[in-house]
């Protein structure tokens, strides 16, 4: 047994779970008019209502005991303090330094990293402005009209998500495009309408060795040179974002056109670094600074608020409650904001790559569940697709609803009509999940509409909603760079706290390596076929089928 599953806080929660097995949220609401006030809080421009959870004050107390037992506060101090908490890679975890707007130094191995962070930001500012203002010219003297970011994973998802989310703030006459997939279709479809004379490529890769990114980058350069002819023109059209200067040089990009960052920035935590260059080109340095400031405000809240009033901590503990004590294997994030349409995809990497682990930090197998499967779609689309399962399926799927009080597009017959409809749906979904509909309620409703008793009884079981299905609602006044920054940081810290509770390393990702390794073995075998016995019959058979059918 692991220390966690053997611990007193864990056992107390398991007992409590049995005790409240028959407790219904709708009764808790009926019994306590102050429930909303008791289970909601505001921080860094975000409002969290967590009252629609299967919890009482006792539950929260026991979850906080678990957090204290697992030393969440100590772990938080160690992360912000630059200790090498990513043990398997012997690295500090300091994405918070990238958005540190205070005068506090942040030290790694005794050296303050803040001067270097500020220096890169200044270079990014100058470069982004020169592209936005049309001062950065292509090889024929024309301003840049299109920027293509080539990267994958953390070098893609954060920039795409934030660029989409902050579209209302993108005033520059520069269009952003993102290519990640090694499927040639992705690059080909993006390049189809672009002019090499006015296109700038940002090659974004922390390691600068990622197969997909390098393959796409080489193809982009070939496409560019078909028109530009002269290698010397590459310098005006290709810049790199990386920690690996040697590989950048090898690719043929002058380090003068490289924006660096550091090994203490994890890929999925890197949008605050030079990886955010496309975001900055889209929204401008001032707005990018607001994004950083919003995240910093959430960092300060996380670092200083007591656990019981700490938004990331509470969200994390609620996740642990369902994952470990209610057997909830998945979790939905449902942004009711079209601009956040890539937010669930971004969170999939953040959450599932961080906490998809099954050994403790000490290398022991865990005997409890860790990270859930995360999915989501922007509302209201999901309602007409998979919400059926969330309402009436056999699994418990906790949901986070995310929405802004105001819209950037107040359209409709009356101004803002669309937005009122959108928000009424968020509130209704959360209420429906919590309340459900009992058999008696179904009967009463159907009888009122004049249905025959027999017909009613046949339909009752199909029309009952079990309810008692949990959700959080996260609201902000408006989706801005600052509130987006706070929202992302909220989830980053949530994932961190869960990793601490589960005693896993949230900052490595060895699980992605095996597939990469095998692909590099298989690639040279594609044409000739593998040596006898090199693979299982399925893998060999699939390769043979491909050779016969291509
Ligand atoms: O930025 P790089 O080095 O090209 O890496 C891209 C991605 O590569 C993947 O293999 C990792 O799992 C991700 O965490 C990472 O973001």
Ligand 1: centre distance to CA 163 (Å) = 19
> Where residue 452 falls among pLDDT bands split at 50, 70, 90?
confident
Ligand 1: centre distance to CA 546 (Å) = 28
pLDDT score of 189 more than 90: yes
The confidence score (pLDDT) of residue 80 equals: 97
**Terminus-to-terminus CA distance in the chain, angstroms?**
52
The confidence score (pLDDT) of residue 317 equals: 99
pLDDT score of 273 more than 80: yes
Residues recognised as catalytic: 353, 384, 516
The confidence score (pLDDT) of residue 33 equals: 98
Count of residues for the chain? 550
From residue 549, give the alpha-carbon distance in Å to each of 434, 525, 543: 52, 16, 10
Dmax (CA) for the chain in angstroms is 83
Average pLDDT of 481-501? 99
**Could you tell me what percent of the chain has a pLDDT over 90?**
96
Token digits of residue 251: 């690719």
Ligand 1: centre distance to CA 16 (Å) = 41
Strands of 18-68, DSSP E: 40-43, 46-49
H/E stretch holding 191 reads helix 184-191
Ligand 1: centre distance to CA 364 (Å) = 26
* Smallest CA separation from ligand 1 atom 16, residue: 154
* Smallest CA separation from ligand 1 atom 7, residue: 153
pLDDT score of 2 more than 90: no
Measured distance CA(350)–CA(495) in Å, rounded: 8
* Smallest CA separation from ligand 1 atom 8, residue: 153
Torsional sign, CA 292, 298, 302, 304: positive
Ligand 1: centre distance to CA 510 (Å) = 11
Identify the residues whose C-beta falls under 6 Å from ligand 1: 152-155, 205-207, 210, 213, 267-268, 353, 509, 512
pLDDT score of 133 more than 80: yes
The DSSP code sequence of 402-442 is: EEESS-S---SSSTTHHHHHHHHHHHHHHHHHHH-B-HHHH
Average pLDDT of 497-509? 98
pLDDT score of 172 more than 80: no
pLDDT score of 185 more than 90: yes
The confidence score (pLDDT) of residue 223 equals: 98
Closest listed residue to residue 266, CA positions, set 128, 140, 421, 96: 96
| Cα 117–chain centre separation | 23
The confidence score (pLDDT) of residue 449 equals: 84
- Closest atom of ligand 1 to 157 CA is 16
* Smallest CA separation from ligand 1 atom 10, residue: 512
What ipTM was predicted for this assembly? 0.98
What is the DSSP pairing of strand 373-375 with strand 330-335? Answer: parallel
Average pLDDT of 213-242? 98
| Cα 451–chain centre separation | 47
> Where residue 130 falls among pLDDT bands split at 50, 70, 90?
very high
* Smallest CA separation from ligand 1 atom 11, residue: 153
**Could you tell me what percent of the chain has a pLDDT over 70?**
100
Most ligand 1 atoms within 8 A of CB, residue of 211, 267, 355 to mutate: 267
- Closest atom of ligand 1 to 152 CA is 6
> Where residue 68 falls among pLDDT bands split at 50, 70, 90?
very high
pLDDT score of 332 more than 90: yes
- Closest atom of ligand 1 to 151 CA is 4
The confidence score (pLDDT) of residue 415 equals: 87
What is the DSSP pairing of strand 40-43 with strand 46-49? Answer: antiparallel
Residues facing 112 on adjacent strands: 107
Is the whole model's pTM more than 0.90, yes or no? yes
- Closest atom of ligand 1 to 267 CA is 16
Ligand 1: centre distance to CA 512 (Å) = 9
Four-point Cα dihedral 545, 546, 549, 550, nearest 10 = -170
CB contact burial 255-282 (16+ within 10 A = b; e otherwise): eebbbbbbbbbbbbbbbbbbbbbbbbbb
The confidence score (pLDDT) of residue 356 equals: 98
């Amino acid at each position: 047994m692991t220390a966690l599953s053997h611990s007193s806080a864990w056992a107390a929660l398991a007992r409590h779970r049995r005790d409240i097995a028959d407790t219904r949220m709708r009764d808790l609401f009926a019994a306590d008019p102050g429930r909303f006030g008791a289970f909601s809080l505001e921080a860094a421009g975000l409002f969290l209502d967590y009252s629609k959870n299967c919890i009482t004050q006792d539950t929260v107390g026991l979850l906080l005991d678990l957090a204290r037992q697992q030393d969440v506060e100590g772990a938080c101090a160690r992360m912000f303090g630059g200790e090498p908490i990513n043990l398997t890679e012997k690295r500090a975890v300091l994405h918070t330094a990238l958005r540190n707007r205070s005068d506090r130094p942040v030290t790694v191995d005794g050296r303050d990293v803040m001067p270097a962070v500020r220096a890169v930001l200044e270079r990014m500012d100058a470069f982004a402005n020169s592209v936005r203002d049309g001062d950065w010219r292509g090889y024929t003297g024309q301003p840049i009209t299109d920027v293509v970011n080539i990267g994958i994973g953390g070098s893609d998802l954060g920039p795409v998500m934030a660029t989409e989310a902050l579209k209302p703030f993108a005033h520059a006459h520069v269009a952003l495009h993102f290519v990640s997939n090694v499927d040639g279709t992705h690059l080909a479809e993006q390049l189809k309408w672009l002019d090499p004379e006015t296109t700038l490529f940002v090659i974004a890769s922390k390691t600068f060795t990622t197969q997909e990114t390098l393959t796409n980058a080489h193809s982009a350069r070939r496409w560019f040179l078909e028109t530009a002819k002269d290698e010397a023109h590459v310098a005006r059209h290709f810049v790199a974002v990386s920690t690996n200067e040697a590989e950048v040089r090898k690719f043929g990009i002058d380090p003068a056109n490289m924006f660096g960052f550091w090994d203490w920035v994890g890929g999925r935590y890197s949008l605050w670094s030079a990886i955010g260059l496309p975001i900055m080109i889209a929204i401008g340095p001032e707005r990018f600074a607001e994004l950083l400031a919003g995240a910093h405000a959430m960092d300060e809240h996380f670092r200083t608020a007591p656990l019981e009033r700490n938004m990331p901590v509470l969200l994390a503990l609620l996740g642990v409650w369902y994952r470990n004590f209610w057997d909830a294997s998945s979790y939905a994030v449902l942004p009711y904001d079209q601009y956040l349409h890539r937010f669930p995809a971004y969170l999939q990497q953040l959450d599932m790559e961080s906490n998809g682990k099954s050994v403790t930090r000490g290398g022991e197998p865990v005997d409890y569940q860790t990270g859930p499967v995360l999915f989501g779609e922007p509302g209201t689309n999901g309602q007409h697709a998979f919400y059926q399962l969330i309402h009436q399926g056999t699994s418990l799927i906790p949901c986070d609803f995310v929405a802004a009080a105001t819209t950037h597009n107040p359209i409709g017959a009356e101004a803002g009509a669309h937005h009122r409809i959108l928000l009424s749906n968020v509130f209704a979904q959360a209420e429906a999940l919590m309340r459900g509909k009992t058999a008696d309620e179904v009967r009463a409703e159907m009888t009122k509409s004049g249905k025959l008793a027999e017909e009613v009884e046949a339909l009752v079981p199909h029309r009952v909603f079990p309810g008692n299905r949990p959700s959080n609602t996260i609201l902000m006044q408006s989706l801005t760079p600052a509130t987006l920054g706070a929202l992302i940081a909220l989830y980053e810290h949530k994932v961190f706290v869960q990793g601490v509770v589960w005693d896993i390393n949230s900052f490595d990702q060895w699980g992605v390596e095996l597939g990469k390794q095998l692909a590099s073995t298989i690639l040279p075998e594609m044409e000739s076929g593998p040596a006898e016995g090199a693979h299982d019959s399925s893998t060999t058979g699939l390769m043979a089928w491909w050779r016969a059918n291509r």
